[in-house]
């Protein structure tokens, strides 16, 4: 009898590997039945990863989305699966243990059957609680091996790693080829080795198509004992996504495997609806580059799931860098030029950082470190002159031990900055906090929700949840979408200048602007009619730190400037207290943070003094070189 290979549709990952967002709950519900009607899927990836966070970002409740989206598959007997990041849960930074435990309870009650759990460093110690909590919550605990290609990531390394996962409670194994750079023969050898040691374990292969190996790898996986193959489908297959259902289906049948028939009428309906979602708004957040396969990624090994956000970020990075270059009369750069420099820098620094598998969040850390190196070196500064706090946490062992050795210059840099290495259990660094978040919700008058699901979202994504609850997230999303659609539909430029129209200020109207007139720079605070405030123009010396006009009593004021664009925060956690007016600060002291490219960067003071004014609000978007804090 022919061996049966079952197929899993990674519908959530399809979207997030292509762009920034996922479909709305109404869109997801409309496509669920056609996916079921296709008749060829035994599993569908519905949520996890960045799903909940991106729902918050465009102003929707992720709990509503998960419950409604999983229900049709539950009713049809199709298993639903989610992706979770072990120590980091479903966010980019470590999560307290009690929050992790609540997550599995909530997600199972919302309709998710399988938890695909991975750790960015393949650390079994970090994954053991996830396996335990998943089973306690009624979910299937699937342990994912984050596949990469390096001198330390050998076939034997992965076979032995699977042994450790299973020993610690994993009920299934996933080969997570997140960058699609697993060489097909090696993928087959890994699966064969696991199958020989564990004849009854379910093995699932997940491979992105970016550099082109995934079709051959899927065949090798099936021939060597895999039970499930993850697939994508048009219009989001290939590129930074996954191999297409039709290709994998026909290849497996030709190779002699038994696979379920495809209802092509339903297939075309899913394809049509997915394209309609792109035409609606999701296409505005998908860079065309992500729809192409790219063999250059064999070298840096960056994962497909990250390339969607990378290309969105790169657009902003190029614009910001070109502003800096233009001010100094230097030639501008392009996205392609910056991307190639980034790829080369990733290849250069990855071994220096100890070969962390390039998977969330460590792919972002390595990519961000590389990108900041490229930008800083373009500006004439040294490599490593700006290294974010998340990457330092990885270097210092706060997420577990790295598979390779750190370069001597990294060790020296840590010593010079008096940073201490950590060798204990990473979870011990993040004490329980559910009671703290529960109390905050009570103070805000927020309900903790059915099965404490709202409490979970707040504890998992506090800043984004606040913006969602206030309505700020939806306002910003709609404004950003309108801007993007306007640019896409903009007519050709004319010689006539637009006529300015006076409008009533919205709640999110700008409070200040940086302007340049005839070479003189100004920081302008804006006054609106009917508001009790006074407009003040602050002159910015283009040759040095910002100062107030000499006619002002604060002639010696200096400013903390934004080191890069992103979102401004006074604190990293809700439990922390930020600086306030009147505080004394020292040169080199961390005074605030900027979240950029999914990591937290410390903002330090270049001068000592007294905080005279905090010029932006917690959560505001800031641009590079914006004045943030005035010091006297």
Residue 607's CATH number: 2.40.50.100
Question: Is 173 in the same domain as 296?
Answer: yes
Residue 41 belongs to a domain? yes
Please enumerate in sequence order all residues whose Cβ is within 8 A of that of 460, keeping only pairs 6 or more positions apart, or say none: 52, 89, 90, 91, 95, 99, 103
Question: Angle at CA 271, nearest 5°, toward 265 and 274?
Answer: 140
Residue 612: half-sphere exposure toward Cβ, Cα within 13 Å: 16
For β-strands 627-631 and 558-561, DSSP reports them as antiparallel
Question: Is 459 in the same domain as 580?
Answer: no
Question: Is 464 in the same domain as 527?
Answer: no
pLDDT-derived band at 514, boundaries 50, 70, 90: low
pLDDT-derived band at 574, boundaries 50, 70, 90: low
Mean pLDDT of the chain: 86
Q: In this model, does residue 503 exceed pLDDT 50?
A: no
Secondary structure (DSSP) of 50-110: THHHHHHHTT--HHHHHHHHHHHHHHHT-EEEEEE-GGGTTSSS---HHHHHHHHHHHHHT
Question: Which tens digit of pLDDT belongs to each residue from 266-289?
Answer: 999 999 999 999 999 999 999 888
Q: In this model, does residue 544 exceed pLDDT 70?
A: no
Quote the tokens at residue 592. Answer: 């605030």
The whole-number pLDDT of residue 512 equals 52
For β-strands 609-614 and 584-585, DSSP reports them as antiparallel
The whole-number pLDDT of residue 254 equals 97
Residue 151 belongs to a domain? yes
> What is the rounded CA–CA span in Å between residue 471 and residue 450?
21
Structural domain count, the chain: 2
Share of the chain above pLDDT 70, in %: 87
Q: Where are the alpha helices (DSSP H) in 255-303?
A: 264-280
> What is the rounded CA–CA span in Å between residue 94 and residue 242?
28
The whole-number pLDDT of residue 331 equals 93
Question: Is 454 in the same domain as 553?
Answer: no
Residue 500 belongs to a domain? no
Domain boundary pick from 481, 503, 522: 481
Residue 498 belongs to a domain? no
Question: Is 467 in the same domain as 532?
Answer: no
Task: Please give the residue that has the higher pLDDT: either 207 or 578.
Answer: 207
Domain boundary pick from 434, 461, 481: 481
The whole-number pLDDT of residue 413 equals 92
Q: In this model, does residue 92 exceed pLDDT 70?
A: yes
Which strands form 558-561's sheet, in the order they lie side by side?
Answer: 558-561, 627-631, 609-614, 584-585
238 C-beta neighbours (distance < 10 Å), count? 22
β partners of residue 146? 176
Domain boundary pick from 460, 481, 502: 481
> What is the rounded CA–CA span in Å between residue 133 and residue 99?
11
Closest-CA residue to 565 (of 314, 298, 206): 314
Residue 36 belongs to a domain? yes
Share of the chain above pLDDT 90, in %: 62
Question: Which tens digit of pLDDT belongs to each residue from 390-408?
Answer: 899 999 999 999 999 999 9
Q: In this model, does residue 412 exceed pLDDT 50?
A: yes
Closest-CA residue to 287 (of 320, 309, 305, 318): 309
Phi (first) and psi of residue 245, to 5 degrees: -50, -50
Closest-CA residue to 204 (of 1, 8, 359): 8
The whole-number pLDDT of residue 392 equals 92
Helix 25-37, helix 264-280: angle, nearest 10: 160
Question: Is 477 in the same domain as 555?
Answer: no
- Mean pLDDT value of segment 484-507: 52
Question: Is 527 in the same domain as 583?
Answer: yes
pLDDT-derived band at 546, boundaries 50, 70, 90: very low
Quote the tokens at residue 430. Answer: 């993040």
Q: Say which range, 201-215, 228-242, 486-500, 565-579, has the weakest mean pLDDT.
A: 486-500
Residue 503 belongs to a domain? no
The whole-number pLDDT of residue 572 equals 75
Question: Is 530 in the same domain as 619?
Answer: yes
The whole-number pLDDT of residue 53 equals 93
pLDDT-derived band at 309, boundaries 50, 70, 90: low
Question: Is 470 in the same domain as 619?
Answer: no
Question: Is 179 in the same domain as 245?
Answer: yes
Domain encompassing residue 371: 1-481
Q: In this model, does residue 522 exceed pLDDT 70?
A: no
β partners of residue 569? 593
Q: In this model, does residue 597 exceed pLDDT 80?
A: no
Q: In this model, does residue 150 exceed pLDDT 60?
A: yes
Question: Is 366 in the same domain as 469?
Answer: yes
> What is the rounded CA–CA span in Å between residue 27 and residue 282?
11
The whole-number pLDDT of residue 520 equals 44
Residue 497 belongs to a domain? no
Residue 379 belongs to a domain? yes
Q: Burial of 8 by CB count in 10 Å (0-12 exposed, 13-18 middle, 19+ buried)?
A: buried
The whole-number pLDDT of residue 500 equals 33
The whole-number pLDDT of residue 555 equals 59
> What is the rounded CA–CA span in Å between residue 566 and residue 596?
5
Question: Is 557 in the same domain as 435?
Answer: no
498 C-beta neighbours (distance < 10 Å), count? 6
- Mean pLDDT value of segment 222-240: 96
CATH of the domain at 51: 3.20.20.70
Task: Please give the residue that has the higher pLDDT: either 328 or 299.
Answer: 328
The whole-number pLDDT of residue 537 equals 37
The whole-number pLDDT of residue 306 equals 65
Highest mean pLDDT among 198-207, 297-306, 522-531: 198-207
């Amino acid at each position: 009898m022919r061996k049966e290979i079952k197929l899993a549709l990674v519908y959530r990952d399809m979207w997030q590997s292509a762009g920034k967002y996922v479909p709305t709950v109404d869109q997801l519900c409309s496509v669920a039945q056609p996916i079921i009607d296709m008749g060829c899927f035994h599993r569908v990836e519905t949520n996890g990863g960045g799903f909940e966070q991106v729902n918050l970002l465009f102003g929707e409740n992720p709990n509503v989305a998960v419950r409604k989206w999983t229900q049709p598959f539950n009713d049809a007997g199709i298993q639903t699966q989610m992706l979770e990041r072990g120590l980091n849960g479903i966010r980019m930074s470590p999560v307290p243990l009690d929050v992790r435990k609540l997550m599995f309870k909530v997600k199972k009650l919302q309709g998710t059957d399988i938890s695909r759990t991975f750790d960015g460093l393949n650390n079994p110690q970090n994954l053991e609680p996830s396996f335990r909590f998943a089973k306690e919550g009624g979910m299937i605990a699937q342990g994912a091996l984050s596949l990469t290609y390096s001198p330390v990531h050998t076939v034997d390394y992965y076979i032995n790693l699977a042994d450790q996962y299973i020993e610690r409670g994993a009920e299934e194994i996933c080969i997570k080829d997140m960058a699609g750079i697993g060489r097909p023969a090696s993928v087959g050898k890994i699966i064969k080795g696991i199958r020989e040691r564990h004849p009854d374990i379910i093995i699932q292969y997940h491979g992105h198509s970016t550099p082109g190996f995934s079709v051959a790898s899927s065949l090798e996986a099936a021939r060597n004992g895999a039970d499930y193959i993850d697939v994508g489908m048009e219009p989001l297959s290939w590129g930074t996504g996954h191999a297409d259902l039709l290709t994998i289906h026909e290849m497996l049948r030709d190779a002699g495997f038994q696979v379920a028939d495809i209802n092509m009428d339903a297939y075309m309906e899913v394809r049509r609806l997915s394209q309609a979602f792109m035409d609606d708004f999701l296409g505005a957040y998908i860079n065309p580059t992500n729809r192409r396969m790219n063999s250059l990624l064999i070298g840096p090994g960056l994962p497909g799931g990250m390339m969607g956000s990378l290309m969105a970020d790169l657009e902003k990075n190029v614009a910001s860098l070109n502003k800096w270059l233009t001010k100094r009369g230097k030639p501008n750069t392009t996205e392609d030029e910056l991307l190639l420099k980034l790829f080369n820098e990733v290849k250069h620094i990855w071994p220096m950082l100890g070969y962390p598998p390039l998977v969330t969040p460590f792919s972002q850390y390595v990519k961000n470190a590389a990108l900041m190196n490229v930008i800083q070196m373009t500006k004439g500064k040294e490599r490593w002159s700006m290294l974010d706090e998340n990457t330092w946490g990885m270097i210092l062992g706060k997420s577990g031990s790295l598979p390779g050795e750190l370069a001597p210059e990294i060790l020296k840099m840590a010593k010079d900055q008096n940073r201490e290495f950590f060798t204990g259990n990473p979870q011990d660094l993040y004490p329980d906090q559910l009671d703290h978040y529960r109390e905050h919700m009570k103070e805000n008058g927020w309900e903790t929700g059915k099965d404490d699901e709202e409490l979970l979202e707040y504890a998992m994504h506090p800043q984004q949840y606040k913006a969602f609850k206030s309505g700020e997230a939806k306002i910003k999303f709609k404004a950003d979408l309108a801007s993007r659609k306007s640019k896409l539909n903009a007519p050709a430029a004319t010689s006539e200048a637009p006529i300015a129209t006076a409008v009533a200020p919205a709640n999110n109207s700008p409070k200040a602007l940086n302007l340049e007139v005839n070479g003189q720079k100004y920081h302008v605070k804006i006054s609106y009619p009917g508001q009790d405030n006074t407009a003040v123009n602050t002159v910015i010396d283009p040759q040095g730190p910002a100062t107030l006009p000499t006619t002002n009593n604060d002639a010696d004021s200096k400013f903390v400037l934004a080191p890069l664009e992103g979102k401004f925060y006074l604190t990293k956690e809700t439990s922390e207290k930020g600086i306030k007016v009147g505080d004394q600060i020292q040169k080199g002291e961390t005074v605030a943070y900027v979240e950029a490219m999914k990591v937290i960067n410390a903002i330090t003071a270049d001068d000592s003094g007294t905080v005279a004014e905090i010029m932006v609000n917690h959560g505001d978007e800031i641009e590079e070189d914006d004045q943030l804090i005035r010091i006297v």
